[in-house]
Structures are given as C-alpha cells and as structure tokens.
Amino acid sequence: MDIGVVPNVTLLIQALLFLAFVFIVNRIFVRPYTRVMEEREEIVRKNHEEASRLREEAGRHLEEARKVLEEARAEANRILDEARKEAGRVRSEIVEKAEREAQEEVSRAVSEIRRSLEEEKTKLERAVKEVAETIVRKILGEAA
C-alpha cells in the first residue's frame, strides 16, 4: 500500500504561505514582544544596579552616622568628665572656704571668750580686792 505522496504545486504554495505567515507573525507579534522583554530586562538590570548603588551609599551613610554618633558620645563623655572635675574642684573650694570661715569663727569666739575671761578676771580681782579691803577695815576697825 503505497500512498504515493508526490509533492506538487500545492505543497509549494502551502510552504510559501507558511513562511509568509511566520514572517508576518514575527513582524507583528514576536519582534515587538521581544523588544518589550529586552526593554524590561534592561529596566530591571538598571533598577538592580541602582538598588546596589543605593545600598552601598546607604551603608556608607550608616557608617558615617555611626562614626558621628561615636564622636558625639566621646565628646559628651569628655564634657561630663570635665564637669565632674569642675564640680569636684568647686566643691573642694567651697569646703575649704567653709572650713576657713569656721576656723576664723572659732578663733574669733576663742578670742572673745579670752577677752571676756580677762574682763571677768579683772572684775573678780577688783571685787576680791574690795572685799579684802573691807575685811581689813573691819578687822582694823574692831582692833582699834
């Protein structure tokens, strides 16, 4: 059973029509679709590159911010240390001044007490002298 397919003109026409159809489909659908896909791939590639660049830039900014923050912490600690030292110095000065004033007050009080003691001693000596003179007069007055 031999079918006997012999190529004739119809096959040639169908082949030409098929090639024309492939050409038209390629021109109308495949090339625009391919162009759009390539454009999208280019956009994705550019966006990816931009994202990488921005990520690197963000990393640099983050590192910069960390450095600035660390410098600010160091500066704040230095200022606090200076303030503590200054407060200690001021406190020492105040304590020394208070001690000096207290010592001066004690010295004045001691001087005042000594002066008062001397005055009272003098008064007592006068009073003793007067009493002694009175006693002597009475004794001499009785003896006479």
- CA–CA separation, 3 vs 6, rounded Å? 9
> Residue length, the chain?
144
121: containing domain = 11-144
Inside any domain, residue 134: yes
Q: What local confidence, expressed as pLDDT, does residue 144 receive?
A: 60
Q: How many domains does the chain have?
A: 1
Q: What local confidence, expressed as pLDDT, does residue 91 receive?
A: 95
- CA–CA separation, 127 vs 121, rounded Å? 10
Percent of the chain at pLDDT exceeding 70: 94
Inside any domain, residue 3: no
Inside any domain, residue 43: yes
Q: Reply yes or no on whether the pLDDT at 73 is more than 90.
A: yes
State the pTM of this model.
0.46
Quote the tokens at residue 136: 């002597």
